[in-house]
Chain A
Amino acid sequence: MDESRPANFCQACAIRNRAICADLDEREIDALNAIGRRRSLIAGEQLLWEGNEAMLVANVVEGVLKLSSSTADGKEQILGLAYPSDFLGRPFGETTPFGAEALTDSLVCVFNRTDFDRFAREHPRLEHKLLERTLSELDRTRRWMLLLGRMNAEQRIATFLLDLSDRMPERGCSPERTAEALPLPLSRQQIADILGLTIETVSRQLTKLRASAVIDLPSRREVRIRDRKALSELAG
């Protein structure tokens, strides 16, 4: 774990225009910067523990994290993935409602929750962004609910790939997003765990999508969406 606070890390931040701080002016950014710090996480490192006192909230700057919750007898359910510019943690609450673990090496900017809450109350523009974020997170969680409750294996895989391509930040400036291979930040086993499928089913479904020319799999850790329309139809 590496913690540092250079003069103002917000100035060169890659997600500055997409994260909850996007609407803040320079003075507000400076004030927010003063209560935050950057933190690197290595793959497998836990950032938030479910049920713990909510000490911090964070923005994802780089990497992918998984959010999960466990039943009383310890069965874990993954609630979704957090990508760059996503906000993690529960503002205005005393306990953390889910665990967050880095799936890849990641960079986050973290805030002490009480500092952050105070800042949000004093800065309506941030509070407003937070509302927008919460509503899109609600939308995503409901879709996740549909996936877990009502979708078959094919629909699950298709939904996952579409979500991944929508949410992974663009690399380079290729205008043809469909032609570009997306880094697949997760192993087959991780995908299986996330979607509530077996690893065999995940592999079989991916192979099937490749055989029907909907996707391409240039390597174990890359996927290229060749026919987005077909994939959307499969997702239902």
Chain B
Amino acid sequence: MIHARSHPSPSEDLLQRLTTLLALRDIPTRILDSAFQSLPLDRGSSSLVEGEQDAIVFVLRGACKLVAHVPPDREQILSFSFEGDILFAPADGSHALTVVAVEDSEVLRFDAGVLSALAASEPKLSMLLLERAVRSLGRSREKAVALGRKTAPERVADFLLSMAGRIGVQEGDTQVLILPMSRRDIADSLGLTIETVSRQFGELRTAGLIATSGRSQVRILDREALHARSARSVSAGRNISRI
């Protein structure tokens, strides 16, 4: 199921937005010009990233999930990506991977080999890719710990803290998140059922740690208590400020 439309070159404007978003202004956009494919993704539409080449996907707008399909019929959401994020999608993974938009999104897909060759002569781009890759790796490891060792309440608290760090907006003493993904996505990402996720949100509300409004807004009222509940490892959330 590929709904993505591919445009050959409204490129200059897109690349300008990309370099602005990533604070790479001094990189001449023309060097990137030939290497990318622009994919507007409507909410729920998907783009198969697995193919001959590794892909590096920049999220210009919106939010996406990277989904792995495990036979016979199970799915695991490996990661969520938001505006300004870089998503690394390997070609030779043993499981089919799909990028699915969780809200209307715009992404730029680069062939990893081509981009990485360009980066060789652009130290800033090279450093950016390396730092983002290291950051993605750190998050994946945290997630592996959560899936392997954490209880449902710990996983949900951990998820909210991680999202707060990525898309939270400070408002006075509280942090507000607009979660673009569904409860089902959260469940598929945390290896829980939707019922468990909803129950945990309910418990956190009752305990006064969060307040919710509608399907998507979460206000974090007591960050410390949420942290205590998340059983985050000693290294979690460190190292982030530098990059």
Chain B residues near A145 (CB-CB < 8 A): 76, 78, 140, 143-144, 147
Taking Cβ atoms with an 8 Å cutoff, the residues of B that contact A are 54, 68, 70-71, 74, 76, 78, 88, 90, 93-95, 112, 116, 119-121, 123, 126-127, 129-131, 133-134, 136-138, 140-145, 147-150, 154, 191, 228, 230-235, 238-239, 242-243
Quick one: which of A108-143 are within 8 Å of B by CB? 121, 124-125, 127-128, 130-132, 134-139, 141-143
Assembly CA distance A77 to B147 (angstroms): 9
Question: Quick check: B150 and A71 within 8 Å, CB to CB?
Answer: yes
User: Closest CB-CB distance, A43 to chain B, in whole Å?
Assistant: 23
Question: Quick check: B242 and A138 within 8 Å, CB to CB?
Answer: no
A-B contact pairs, 17 of them (CB 8 A): A51-B234, A70-B233, A72-B234, A77-B145, A77-B148, A90-B138, A97-B138, A98-B141, A131-B116, A134-B130, A135-B54, A136-B90, A139-B90, A143-B94, A145-B147, A146-B78, A148-B147
Assembly CA distance A174 to B124 (angstroms): 44
Q: A97-B138, A143-B95 are in contact. Are A130 and B145 (CB under 8 A)?
A: no
A69 at the interface (CB under 8 A from B): yes
Chain B residues near A127 (CB-CB < 8 A): 123, 126-127, 130
Question: Quick check: B234 and A73 within 8 Å, CB to CB?
Answer: no
Chain B residues near A30 (CB-CB < 8 A): none
Taking Cβ atoms with an 8 Å cutoff, the residues of A that contact B are 50-51, 69-73, 75-79, 90-98, 121, 124-125, 127-128, 130-132, 134-139, 141-146, 148-151, 196, 235-236
Question: Quick check: B120 and A143 within 8 Å, CB to CB?
Answer: no
Question: Quick check: A77 and B143 within 8 Å, CB to CB?
Answer: no
15 additional A-B residue pairs with CB within 8 Å, beyond A50-B233, A71-B233:
A50-B234, A71-B231, A77-B148, A90-B134, A92-B131, A92-B243, A124-B126, A127-B126, A128-B116, A131-B129, A132-B116, A138-B90, A141-B141, A142-B78, A148-B147
Chain A residues near B233 (CB-CB < 8 A): 50-51, 69-72
